[in-house]
Amino acid sequence: MKNNLFSVFLLMMGLTTNFFCSCNHDKTIPVVSTTNVSDIFATSVKVEGNVINDGGYDITARGICWSTNCHPTTRLPTKAIVYTSGLGSFSCYLTGLKPGTSYFVRSYAANLLGTAYGEEFCFTTTYITGTVTDIDGNVYHVLQIGSQTWMVENLKSTRYRDSTAIPHVAGTDWCSGNKGAYCIYDNNPENGPAFGYLYNWYAVNDKRSIAPIGWHVPTNEEWTTLVNYLGGVNVAGGALKSTNSWLYPNTGATNESGFSALPGGFRSSDSNGAFHSVWEIGRWWSSTEDLAHDNSVYFWALDYLSRNVDHPSGDKHYGFYVRCIKDN
């Protein structure tokens, strides 16, 4: 009797097992395809994918994984971005990439049974896309960051676009009058090649233009676009700062953007026109006036102790650097 009951029990177990096997027989991991890689810039790229089949279970995650090594997965040390769940086409923008670097990407999709990967694509981010020369013959490298094109070095032109000389003011008359002027930090010629030249805002705003043809001094809005593209004011300073030259600890500096901002200090707007904070601070003009405050213009600032980007306004007699942006 006991043997018969045991036999019946085994039979029931076998039937139960066969039942589950039969129900799950056609279920698999998803089918996903990497369909396109486009909009390749210095620090970002657009990657598209398509979840073709869910394998019989709901898609719990889908997205893109990438690495500088082949066959990236969703596991460390490679990186992955989760776009959403579900079937169908999707696209992701990967940001924070390093300029001039080769990456491997592929789409993925996951369900209850596991993770599937699409075709692998390889691409190389742009870095230096060319050069531009100012009226003095100074050559600047050119870098694409998102949808914008920037010079990699600070301006060091001594003439306006029409060949008129910009006054060189080294002494304490830096703040006298409302005419354009430039100088070199601490009046030391060795600082010019490294940091570029300091300009007051009257030089920046002159109709004759200090920028090469096809370029201009960025507006406050254009600076905002750059900073937001790099993650916002709380982190973008790290992506903008060079990884060398700044004083320790150069907080957050990665230079992922390739912008290579340097700590050239600034010249004050007081009666002495004193120089301050080389190796600690970098400041750059915008072309936008602060209409809420007299004689003030917005500028953008980086600090060796922070990954933040500050954007206050200041007196037009300050001496700040100029980083030109290409006309649209």
Residue 87, SS3 per DSSP: coil
* Model pLDDT, residue 114: 94
The ranges assigned to domains in the chain are: 31-124, 128-326
Three-class HEC string of 216-280: ECCCHHHHHHHHHHCCCCCCHHHHHECCCCCCCCCCCCCCCCCCCECCCEEECCCCCCCEECCCC
* Model pLDDT, residue 24: 55
For the chain, where are the E strands, in sequence order? Answer: 31-38, 45-53, 61-67, 79-84, 88-94, 102-111, 114-124, 128-133, 139-145, 148-151, 182-183, 198-199, 215-216, 266-267, 275-276, 281-289, 296-303, 313-315, 325-326
- What is the token pair recorded at 139? 């050559």
Residue type for position 64? I
* Model pLDDT, residue 17: 39
Q: How far apart are CA 73 and CA 91, in angstroms?
A: 17
Contacts of 218 (CB under 8 A, 6+ apart): 226, 286, 287, 323, 324, 325
Q: How far apart are CA 61 and CA 230, in angstroms?
A: 26
Q: How far apart are CA 95 and CA 77, in angstroms?
A: 17
Q: What angle do CA 34, 143, 309 make, to 5 degrees?
A: 95
* Model pLDDT, residue 234: 97
* Model pLDDT, residue 127: 65
The residue length of the chain stands at 328
Let me know: does 121 contact 86? Beta carbons within 8 Å.
Answer: no
Query: CA 188 → CA 50, 174, 201, distances in Å?
Result: 59, 16, 21
The neighbour count for residue 113, using CB atoms within 10 Å, is 14
* Model pLDDT, residue 244: 82
* Model pLDDT, residue 108: 95
User: Which segments of the chain have a pLDDT < 70?
Assistant: 1-25, 42, 127-128
- What CATH architecture is 31-124? Sandwich (2.60)
* Model pLDDT, residue 3: 47
For tokens 């007051």, the residue is 200
